[in-house]
Structures are given as C-alpha cells and as structure tokens.
Amino acid sequence: MKKTTLFLASIIGIGSLFAQPGKLRGPGGQYDERMEMMRIWKLTEYLELKEVQAEKFFPSMRAHQKQVMEIRKEEKELFTPLYKKVKKGEDISKAEANKLLKKVAAFEQKKSNTRIDFIKKSGDILNPTQQVKLLMFDGHMKQQVRDRMQDRYQPPKRGGMKRRKNRF
C-alpha cells in the first residue's frame, strides 16, 4: 500500500513539473499533457495497479497509443480528397461516398482489433479483473466527465439576471 501511495505521489509530482506553463503546442496547448496525466492517474486508481504492474503496463500502453494515433492519422488522410472536392462546391458521387464508408469501416475494425489485442497482451501484466476494468475504463471516464459537466452547468434563470443590492 505504501509503495502504491509513493508511486502515485511521484507520478503526481512529476506531472506537476511537466504541467508548468510553457510554450503552447497547437489547439489545447499544454492542456493535452495535463489531461493525459489525469487519465494515467485515474487509470492507476481505477485498475488498482501495483507499482510493479504500473512499471510494465504504462510503457506498453504508450506503444498502443502510438499505434492508435497512426491509424487515426491514416484515417484522417482518407477525408482530404473528398473534403477538397466539397470545399470547391463539387458534388460527390454515390460510388465515392460508398467507397469512403467502406474504408472508414475498415479503419474502425482495425482500431477495434488493435484495442482488443492490447487488452489480451496486457494479460501478462494485469489480472483478469483488471483487464475487464481496462476494457470498461474509457466509457467510465467519459461518463465521469459528462456527469461533472452537467453538475457544473447551471441553466440561466427565468427573468434574466437579478440585480444585487449594494451593501454600502
């Protein structure tokens, strides 16, 4: 337990060093790094990873993420020719649309297979309960974020804004 606590504290400490203000990189800037650190922290907590497991699991997870990013990059390139055509105001034929849909379906299948393979390979590091939790983690995390956003959102009150009374 102490090792896990120490490991989490070190991850948070290192994360805070990397989360210092710096040069913004593209849309979202440094917030991408902060979100990734938060995701790792939540994943460690959710899977109840031990220090030894975490040392082996996160490098393999990063390799998996690189694979998925490559697939997404290839998938994004599919849309470029048709996007240019639409931007010019040209019509897209039904055959072109169907061809694109088939390719998108193939990429979705490829992403799904990559994820399943990663979870299967994680069986060398994680126990079966942790593997199932890993499979459910993305949905769990998205639901938590959605719930927090709904809790923070307060719809405007009827009648507009009320004026505050001056105290002085």
Tell me the two tokens of residue 101: 């849909």
Give the HSE-up count for residue 7: Cα atoms under 13 Å, Cβ half-sphere. 17
Least confident of 5-9, 76-80, 99-103: 5-9
Q: Diameter of the chain by CA atoms?
A: 72
pLDDT one-digit tens code per residue, 118-139: 999 999 999 999 999 999 988 8
CB within 8 A of 130, min separation 6: which ones? 47, 48, 49, 53, 122
Give the highest mean pLDDT range of 13-22, 109-118, 136-145, 153-162: 109-118
Quote the pTM value. Answer: 0.64
pLDDT at 27 over 80: no
Q: Tell me the average pLDDT across 134-159.
A: 80
How does the average pLDDT of the chain come out, rounded?
81
